[in-house]
Amino acid sequence: MSTRSPATARKTSRAKPAAAAIRPETAADATHDLTPDGDMERRICEAVYESVMSQRLTPGTKLPEAALCELFGVSRSVARKALQRLAHEHVVDLHHNRGAVVAEPTPEDTRQIFQARRALEAALLPLAVARATKADYASLRKQLRDEHALLHRAGQPAWARQASAFHVRLGELSGNAILHGYLAELVSRCSLIVALYEPPGNAACEHGEHVLIVDLMERGDVAEAVKINDNHLADLERRISLERPQPAQTLAQMLGLA
């Protein structure tokens, strides 16, 4: 039984968007995930999300309910709920006549999402600098060390989550829970666009620029920190290529199940 006070519960609820930006399945209710169907729903979400982030599942790939039922040994209701959850996180698109497909952001979608994110981070960074303490900067430095370690020894999904977490953490430091929630959603959508379309061989988010941004913030050079961060996001958007060949693989192979 939960012993959280109402105030604590409200605080936890506000923090959820940041978690959702890193892994879609964390947005689900914890009690629901303890049930057998809930656990399988989570496993489907995780498999699809990881496969998208690893570029095994490409934009427009069909995700038929029947195929997911067979691959995971679940009922149609479980597969349908998993797809609905992934659609809520913008990982898949649900079409009345085509069923579920891996999301296909258009050039205009991409432009608007990155434009909104750049404007929001430009507003949040000064707020973060005004509130950040020595302990906050120490925490950011540790996060950057973890990020650097993952860059050299982990796969794309783990690295992308850590790089995205850096930007979400800066939003959290602003102290504005509403703007932080909006940023978490935008970061999530940007991360998926990058995972879907960025050419192989590029780091999803340059680690050295993260370090420079924190250095500038700690020195109080807000204008330069905002400028570097904006250029950082603009470079990330420019590296995206919306043209990708479709691999000749089965759905099981793309999900890492074969």
Domains, the chain: 6-104+244-254 (1.10.10.10), 107-238 (1.20.120.530)
Cα separation, 172 vs 184, whole angstroms: 9
Q: Rounded to 5 degrees, what are φ and ψ at 21?
A: -70, -20
Identify which of 116, 89, 105 has the alpha carbon closest to the alpha carbon of residue 21: 89
pLDDT at 10: 38
Tokens 């105030």 identify what position?
7
- pTM for the full predicted model: 0.73
Contacts of residue 19, Cβ cutoff 8 Å, sequence gap at least 6: 26, 27
**Higher-confidence residue: 128 or 35?**
128
Question: How far, CA to CA in Å, does 144 sit from each of 74, 141, 153, 212, 256?
Answer: 40, 5, 14, 11, 30
Is pLDDT of 79 > 90? Answer: yes
Is residue 8 scored above 70 in pLDDT? no
How confident is the model over 157-195, as pLDDT tens digits?
A: 666 778 889 999 999 999 999 999 999 999 989 988 887
Cα 142 to chain centroid, rounded? 20
Per the prediction, the chain carries an average pLDDT of 82
> Rounded to a whole number, what is the largest CA-CA distance in the chain?
56
How far is CA 10 from each of CA 7, 14, 183, 185, rounded to the nearest angstrom?
5, 6, 19, 19
Residue 35: predicted pLDDT = 78
pLDDT at 202: 53
124: helix, coil or strand?
helix
pLDDT given at position 28? 38
pLDDT digits (tens, 9 = 90+) for 83-132: 999 999 899 999 987 799 999 898 999 999 999 999 999 999 999 999 99
Phi-psi domain of 228 (left: phi exceeds 0; alpha: psi -120 through 50; beta: other): alpha
Q: Are 247 and 254 in contact (CB under 8 A)?
A: yes
